[in-house]
Amino acid sequence: MINATSADLIPIRLKLMLGGSLLLVSAAAWVASISMMGGMAMGVLGFVLVWTVMMAAMMFPSLMPTVWLFATVAQSRSQFGYHPAPTPLFVTGYLGAWMLAGVGVALMNAVTDVAMGGWPRPVVGGALIIAGLYQLTSWKAQCLGHCRSPIQFFMDHWHDGLPGALLMGAHHGLYCMGCCWGLMLAMIALGMMNPVWMGLIALLIFMENVTPWGERMASIFGAALVIIGVGMAFGLNMVF
């Protein structure tokens, strides 16, 4: 069990270093993602690579508060004789969870081209309705609450050592997928290889996870997706 108050403060130098590193990796991943979209053959392995880089680009800015908390708690464990768990391993576990999700999407895409865009407008509308309705559910609220305030997760599921850091990162990644899969479905439906939709969905995720009004915004985004989806299902030109 960890002390919740130990995560209230973090040295400003460490905070800036970790946050800056995540933002730099995210920026590099954005550049790489856009480059890959233009000229890469999309077999299963290629798709998983592109997907994983995209997730680093989109999710790392929203991950900053959790990384800061993890680093602070890991440092606090030294008073009990444990070596601080390396923060990069936590991030690696997190990204690994998204990579495994990408394997599933890649296998589906290999059969149906589901992620390559070009869906009929009514199908896009249906996907947006599903994504929007999920935004309004208690499951979304529970996963979003975990992502916005993961202290309880660390208190209940802390594991020391290198495997523990990887495990906690992957575990948090699963919660993040539970929070964001509806928005990811919307991105895939609208065109996963379109950097405009990719950027917009990343912004929505950041607003939900980091801003003070994130929980309210999640419901607003959900209602907007349902309205747009209904319009598109009936043939209206809502986003194109």
Region 76-93 average pLDDT = 83
Instruction: Report d(CA 87, CA 59) in Å as an integer.
Output: 16
Instruction: For residue 228, give the amino acid letter.
Output: I
Query: Mean pLDDT of all residues in the chain?
Result: 87
Return the pLDDT at 2.
Answer: 46
Residues 99 and 122 sit within 8 Å (Cβ to Cβ)? no
Residues 131 and 182 sit within 8 Å (Cβ to Cβ)? yes
Q: Quote the pTM value.
A: 0.88
* pLDDT tens figures, 55-82: 999 999 999 999 999 998 888 877 776 7
Return the pLDDT at 118.
Answer: 66
* pLDDT tens figures, 129-142: 999 999 999 999 99
Instruction: Report d(CA 57, CA 28) in Å as an integer.
Output: 8
With the C-alpha atoms ordered 4, 177, 159, 91, is the resulting torsion angle positive or negative? negative
Question: Residue 79 to residues 14, 35, 71, 76, 102: CA-CA distances in angstroms?
Answer: 18, 46, 14, 6, 39
- 156 has pLDDT over 90: no
